[in-house]
Amino acid sequence: MSDPNAALKVLPAHTEHPRLFQANKFVYPVLSRRSRGISVGINLNPDKVCNFDCIYCQVDRRSAAVTRFVETERLLAEVEEVLELVSSGGLYRDERFTGVPGPLRRLNDIAFSGDGEPTTFRNIPSIVADVAAIKARRGLDAVKLVMITNASMFHRPGVQRALATLDANNGEIWAKLDAGTERYFQVVDRTTIPFERVLLNLRDAALLRPLVIQSLFMRVDGAGPPLDEVAAYSDRLNEILNAGGRLARIQVYTIARPPAESAATPLAPREVDAIAEEVSRRVGVPVESYYGASS
């Protein structure tokens, strides 16, 4: 099996993406469907503080965090150690990775993600620059540097500097957009940040580089997203494009790992595909479907 896409089809749904690996506090490898290979995650929010309170989030913020502060030197040392483990093949001797198919035994990206919104980290420009320097020194030019983000802080100068560093280092922004209206945005993402702020940030960022839009659709108290909400969501994407912004692709997915709140449950694969097809028809940007625990 030499095709990564074929290899993905035989994998079970990922019901766990643990953010603790061996004795590490901040850096963890995962087999990622959306990356089509190994992604090395960097958790900049071990305190579990986030400016969104998404109904589908797997992070249980009711329990105390084990680690509250980012120790920069330790984080960078963990990045070095995990990259060495992946490049040497030692990762696949770990019982959690022994079953990874050959075509997926590739390092696709280093991703800033974790238990909160990474762009709220106060030293985000310097930590992105430090990780980019490690990637360059190791000759990993083909490996992407990814920011997985809710786009709420893109207007901050420090965040803009961090994103510019991504641009210069084979970077990619995976930006969340889960709604088309303020009302549904508050149902799903539950934040004091106005929906309009997020939309403006997405537009302005897309004017500078193509964005990957990641959108999670689910059932809330048993009801899937209304059809008019999917239409409004598509309209918001078209507004970005009509303003001159660029969208590389759209990831339509559903819940794959148990959320902290039981009101949120996954859509069936056919429902995910129906949304993806509708968005593709309305927006005209490549759309990818990713299924949940029920697939």
Task: Choose from 5-14, 57-66, 139-148 the range with maximum mean pLDDT.
Answer: 139-148
Q: What is the DSSP letter of 113?
A: E
Through-space distance between the first and last CA atoms of the chain, rounded to whole angstroms: 22
Give CATH superfamily name and number for 4-290.
Aldolase class I (3.20.20.70)
Q: What is the pLDDT of residue 279?
A: 98
- The answer to whether residue 11 scores a pLDDT higher than 90 is no
pLDDT in tens, 69-78: 899 999 999 9
- DSSP secondary structure string for all residues of 40-99: EEEES-TT---S---TT----TTSPPS--S--HHHHHHHHHHHHHHHHHTGGGGSTTTTT
Q: What is the pLDDT of residue 3?
A: 55
Please list, in sequence order, all residues whose beta carbon lies within 8 angstroms of the beta carbon of residue 122, skipping any fewer than 6 positions away.
158
What is the average pLDDT value for the chain, to the nearest integer? 91
Q: What is the pLDDT of residue 21?
A: 62
pLDDT in tens, 109-152: 999 988 999 999 999 999 999 999 999 999 999 999 999 999 99
In the chain, what are the domain boundaries? 4-290
pLDDT in tens, 177-186: 999 999 999 9
Q: What is the pLDDT of residue 1?
A: 44
